[in-house]
A and B are shown apart, each in its own frame.
Chain A
Amino acid sequence: MSSPAIDAGRPPWAARRRLSAALWRRPWLKGLLLLLPPLGWMAVFYLAALAVLFTSAFWSVDAFTGKLTHVWTLTNFHAIFQDPTYRRIAFRTIAMAALVTLTDALIAFPFAYFMARIAPPRWRTVMFVLVLLPLWSSYLARIYAWRLILAHDGVLNWSLAKIGLPATNIAFTNTAMWIVFSYIWLPFMILPVYAALERIPDSYVEASRDLGAGGFTTLRRVILPLALPGVVAGSIFTFSLTLGDYITPSLVGNTDFIGNVVYRNVLGLTNNLPFAAAYATVPLVVMAAYLLLAKRSGAFEAL
Chain B
Amino acid sequence: MRRIRRMHVLVAAVAVALCVPASGVSGGNNGMLASVGKTEGKLNLIAWEGYTQPQWVKPFQKATGCQVHAKYGGSSDEMVTLMRTGQYDAVSASGDASLRLIYGKDVRAIDPKLVPDFENFIGPLKSPPHNTVGGVHYGISLQWGPNTLLWNTKKVKPAPTSWGALYDKKFKGKVTVPDNPIQIADAALYLSKKDPSLRIADPYELNSKQFKATVDLLKKQHPLVKKYWGAAADEISLFKNGDAVIGASWPYQTNTLKADKTPVRDTIPKEGATGWADTWMVSSHAKHPNCAVRWIQWVSTPKVQAQQAVYFGETPANKKACKLMGKAACHQYHADAPTSYFNRIKFWKTPTSDCGNGHKDCMDYTKWQQAWTDIKG
Contact = CB atoms under 8 A, between A and B. Distances in A.
Nearest to B376: A256
Given A66-B100, A169-B173, A271-B80, A151 B243 contact: yes
Contact of B103 (A56, A65, A151, A270): A65
Interface in B73-94: 74-78, 80-81, 84
A48 B81 CA distance: 23
B365 A270 contact: yes
Given A152-B243, A153-B242, A172 B77 contact: no
A67 interface: yes
B369 interface: yes
Contact of A172 (B9, B14, B20, B226): B226
A64 interface: yes
A55 B17 contact: yes
A178 B237 CA distance: 22
Given A43-B9, A51-B14, A153 B373 contact: no
Contacts of A267: 74-75, 77-78, 81
Interface string B346-377: 00001011000000000011100110111011
Contacts of A50: 13
Given A151-B241, A254-B227, A267-B78, A65 B16 contact: no
A117 interface: no
Contact of A255 (B17, B100, B376): B376
A255 B223 CA distance: 11
B75 A269 contact: yes
A231 B1 CA distance: 40
B241 A268 contact: no
Contacts of A148: 241
A256 B230 CA distance: 12
Interface string A146-177: 01100111100000000000000101100000
Nearest to A87: B377
Q: Which of A86, A152, A267 has the most CB of B within 10 A?
A: A152
Nearest to B104: A65
A116 interface: no
A281 interface: no
A171 B226 contact: yes
B173 A269 contact: no
A34 interface: no
Given A64-B352, A171-B243, A254-B228, A51 B17 contact: yes
Contacts of A54: 17
Query: How big is the B interface, by class?
Result: 35 or more
A152 B16 CA distance: 52
B18 interface: yes
B230 A269 contact: no
A272 B14 CA distance: 21
Contact of B13 (A28, A47, A151, A270): A47
Interface in A206-229: none
A188 to B, nearest CB: 27
Interface string B21-37: 11010000000000000
B181 interface: yes
Interface string B210-240: 0000000000000001111010000001000
A63 B364 CA distance: 7
Given A48-B17, A67-B104, A153-B241, A28 B1 contact: yes
Nearest to B354: A64
Contact of B181 (A83, A172, A269): A269
A85 B377 contact: yes
B343 interface: no
Contacts of A268: 75, 77-78
A89 B377 contact: yes
Contacts of B16: 44, 48, 51-52
A44 B17 CA distance: 10
Contact of A256 (B77, B237, B350, B377): B377
A264 interface: yes
B180 interface: yes
Given A267-B75, A269-B75, A254 B225 contact: yes
Contacts of B372: 269
Contacts of B370: 83, 85
A250 B181 CA distance: 16
B13 A63 contact: no
B275 to A, nearest CB: 18
A64 B100 contact: yes
A266 to B, nearest CB: 9
B241 A154 contact: yes
Interface string B291-322: 00000000000000000000000000000000
Nearest to A32: B1
Interface in A256-295: 256, 261, 264, 267-272
A65 B370 CA distance: 17
Nearest to B180: A269
B242 A52 contact: no
B80 A66 contact: yes
A152 B241 contact: yes
Nearest to A157: B242
A86 B371 CA distance: 11
Q: Which of A68, A83, A169, A270 has the most CB of B within 10 A?
A: A270
A199 interface: no
A191 to B, nearest CB: 33
Interface string B319-351: 000000000000000000000000000000010
Given A63-B364, A271-B77, A51 B13 contact: yes
A65 B101 CA distance: 7
A30 interface: no
Contacts of A272: 366, 369
Contacts of A269: 75-77, 180-181, 369, 372
Which 5 pairs show the lowest CB-CB distances between chains A and B? A51-B13, A151-B241, A65-B104, A51-B17, A152-B242
26 contacts: A43-B12, A47-B9, A48-B20, A50-B13, A55-B14, A63-B365, A65-B103, A66-B80, A66-B84, A67-B104, A68-B21, A70-B21, A83-B374, A85-B374, A151-B242, A152-B241, A152-B242, A153-B242, A255-B377, A264-B373, A267-B75, A267-B78, A268-B75, A270-B77, A270-B369, A271-B81
